[in-house]
Amino acid sequence: MQANPTQSGNGVPEGDRGCGARLRKAREAAGLSQADVAARLKMPLRVVQSLEVEDWSRLGAPVFVRGQLRSYSRLLGLTTAPMFEASGVAPVEPPKLVPRTYTRPLQHFAEQAARRLVYVVMTIAIAIPVWLATRPHLGSVAHDAAPLDVPAFGDAGTRDAVDQARPLVASLAPLPAPAAPALSLRLRGDSWVEIVARDGRTLEQSLLRAGEQRSYDVDEVGRVVLGDANVVDVRSHGRPADLTPYLRANVARFTVSSDGSLAPAAD
């Protein structure tokens, strides 16, 4: 007769080494159906089914798998660390930092001096023609008023003299401010971010750290996935975007239309 398997600390037989079997047994012991779990965690039913059969390919990146597995385990009172180990899903590796090229202080000073020299030269190139063009006009102000018997403007010589006296004015109006980006992200905490272009190319797929920012033009982005939307500030054309309609278990999925507006993404 076969011996009964020993019990682990959380009441699940140790013979069921897979995390999916442990989740299923714990759910059944709690008297919950898969639909009950999906409703409580606000996640699609297919995600609950995929977790119990350990079909990670339907859940996306490893960070999403571990996040959904953590939520399910906590709901059933299971310890998350053994579940992660049993799942075989690798932890998210932090991005490798690439050191920037070191710039010597002397080279940095030379570059700044060169930029200032270019600015001075451009200012002189604009100021000298303006000064030369306004000299005849400034000189004519010092003379007495012209007599009333001024020749008619039909006279060619008089018309040429008037044209020469007209000053040339350089426009110093400031350039218009650049338009706000169609979509910008600012992270207040660590979160997995996946940005897909309209043509299907992956623009960003990594774990971004707190303090990092990303900006995209309206024609760049097609679909966005935020692993932890609670720590990401999203702006559309400079205005804060409400991610509530696109949230499921702290994960936000939405698309960006041609005019920059946001819409829910299909599962």
CATH code of the domain covering residue 247: 2.60.40
Q: Are strands 251-256 and 247-248 parallel, antiparallel or unpaired?
A: antiparallel
Q: Is residue 216 part of a domain?
A: yes
Last residue of a domain, one of 69, 87, 105: 87
Q: Is residue 31 part of a domain?
A: yes
Q: What is the mean pLDDT of residues 30-37?
A: 90
Q: Is residue 28 part of a domain?
A: yes
Q: Is residue 138 part of a domain?
A: no
124 φ/ψ angles, rounded to the nearest 5 degrees: -65, -40
Last residue of a domain, one of 57, 87, 117: 87
Residue 247 Rama label (left phi>0; alpha psi -120 to 50; beta): beta
Q: Is residue 7 part of a domain?
A: no
Q: What is the mean pLDDT of residues 7-32?
A: 70
Question: 9 pLDDT exceeds 70?
Answer: no
pTM, whole model, 2 decimals? 0.38
Mean pLDDT of the chain: 78
Q: Is residue 29 part of a domain?
A: yes
Q: Is residue 114 part of a domain?
A: no
Question: 20 pLDDT exceeds 90?
Answer: no
Question: 194 pLDDT exceeds 90?
Answer: yes
Q: Cα–Cα distance between 221 and 94 in angstroms, integer?
A: 24
Q: Is residue 219 part of a domain?
A: yes
Residue 231 belongs to domain spanning: 183-264
Last residue of a domain, one of 48, 65, 87: 87
Q: Where residue 81 sits, what CATH number does that domain have?
A: 1.10.260.40
**Based on the structure, what is the number of domains in the chain?**
2
Residue with tokens 């920037």, as numbered in its chain:
100
Give the model's confidence band at 150: pLDDT under 50 very low, under 70 low, under 90 confident, else very high.
very low
| Extended strands (E) in 23-151 | none
